[in-house]
Chain A
């Protein structure tokens, strides 16, 4: 089986298809207590939720614990999803990212995290273990490569590392204002490179 080969005839899947939006429909059904809809959402998003949390939290057991909390919160608060404010995937991933950050910023291991270097967090170090992830990863990596070094390191440390921008400034030895604008400029470049629509 060669997933890449069989995709060759497909148009460039640069943006999420209808199934991405379908997640919003699932959330509406979940809000009505539909467990089947939740199971379907689990199948679509548990990989990104767990993967993102593990990047930030690192420890697998804690990552699993936080993932469970996040997915349960999605179930509990599905009625509060507002499609006008962003996509369903973004709503879920925002919950996941914030919970992961709460965990690392409050944990006693926080000081050990300071030892980490930006390089360890860059996406290419990881091995994609799903076809979907490897396609997404390839695209994201291509766009990250188009950033300046400071932009790339700031975004990577902040998002995948869970660092605050003050901590990022400390790690990279740069001024706070510099990090602030590098993160914004870099993200805007990523947005345009990935063809994100909102």
Chain B
């Protein structure tokens, strides 16, 4: 009887992952079971990630007023602290240096994920690990902050800047796709027309480009993106369609 009951609970993983249990009492009961049943918890994680794909497929452009309303509310809304006595599993790989606080755990997760995505030959793996560590270091820098701007072509660019590290990490969302003869090139634009190339954007996955690291930031630099012929240009040949001053 007990075994039957357990089995009964286990098969609720799908229903629970879709938030389709009927009552709070049912949810509480199943969550107690999850705490004891590791394989159930693992299955729920996978099924929840699956549900997220269903959510992504339902994406719709939100009403134009939403962004302003949310950002205005954010500036006057106080944040909650992390829950105390929070047991966090150790990072799965040993090569990422231990970093402080919540950032470290997340940085590790990103590095692991990027490692998986970029993994190829051992040589590539070593290179991508070095790159991921560098990205994690920028994101975990105490002075790291994010600057986001819409572009005149649509979509947006985000730059995580650490002035102390003199580095930045660039991602984009929703830039218009380019023909294969063109690329998006990144630039650091300093005083006196001191314009330095800062890399080429990788091809987007689902409209997003994976984090790209650029180093050698100088005080007063502005970040810009242009469209260039495939392979990139030593100096921009078109006007930047997004400019983000990286003050500090």
Contact = CB atoms under 8 A, between A and B. Distances in A.
A126 B52 contact: no
A106 interface: no
A148 interface: no
Given A26-B146, A71-B66, 17 more contacts: A6-B180, A10-B203, A13-B205, A17-B210, A21-B110, A46-B66, A47-B59, A72-B70, A79-B80, A86-B45, A130-B61, A133-B58, A135-B207, A164-B22, A183-B15, A184-B13, A187-B47
A132 B59 contact: yes
A160 B55 CA distance: 8
B54 A67 contact: no
Contact of B56 (A22, A27, A79, A133): A133
Interface string B60-80: 111101110111011101111
A130 B174 contact: yes
B11 A184 contact: yes
Interface residues of A, number: 108
Interface of A: 1, 3, 6-7, 9-10, 13, 15-22, 24-29, 31-40, 42-44, 46-52, 54-55, 60, 64, 67-68, 71-72, 75-87, 89-90, 93-94, 96-98, 101, 123, 126, 128-133, 135-137, 139-141, 155, 158-160, 163-166, 168, 179-181, 183-188, 190-191, 194, 196-198
B53 to A, nearest CB: 5
B148 A43 contact: yes
Contacts of A47: 59-62
Given A47-B61, A79-B81, A85 B45 contact: yes
Contacts of B148: 36-37, 39-40, 43
Contact of B79 (A10, A24, A75, A83): A75
9 contacts: A24-B106, A28-B139, A40-B156, A42-B67, A47-B59, A79-B80, A81-B106, A101-B19, A158-B15
Contacts of B118: 18
User: Chain A's interface: helix, strand, loop or mixed, by majority?
Assistant: helix
B124 interface: no
Nearest 9 pairs between A and B by C-beta?
Answer: A184-B14, A18-B210, A17-B205, A51-B60, A19-B208, A132-B207, A21-B113, A133-B59, A50-B62
Given A18-B114, A68-B69, A82-B88, A52 B55 contact: yes
A91 B205 CA distance: 20
B52 A136 contact: no
B117 interface: yes
Nearest to B116: A197
Contact of B74 (A46, A75, A166): A75
Contacts of A55: 58
Contacts of B82: 31, 79-80
Contacts of B46: 191, 196, 198
A49 to B, nearest CB: 8
A191 B80 contact: no
B94 interface: no
Contact of B52 (A7, A90, A141): A90
A52 B70 CA distance: 17
- Residue with the highest number of chain A CB atoms closer than 10 Å, among B59, B71, B207, B209: B59
Contacts of B78: 76
B93 interface: no
A94 to B, nearest CB: 7
Contacts of A89: 52, 56
Interface string B27-68: 000000000000000100111111111111111111101110
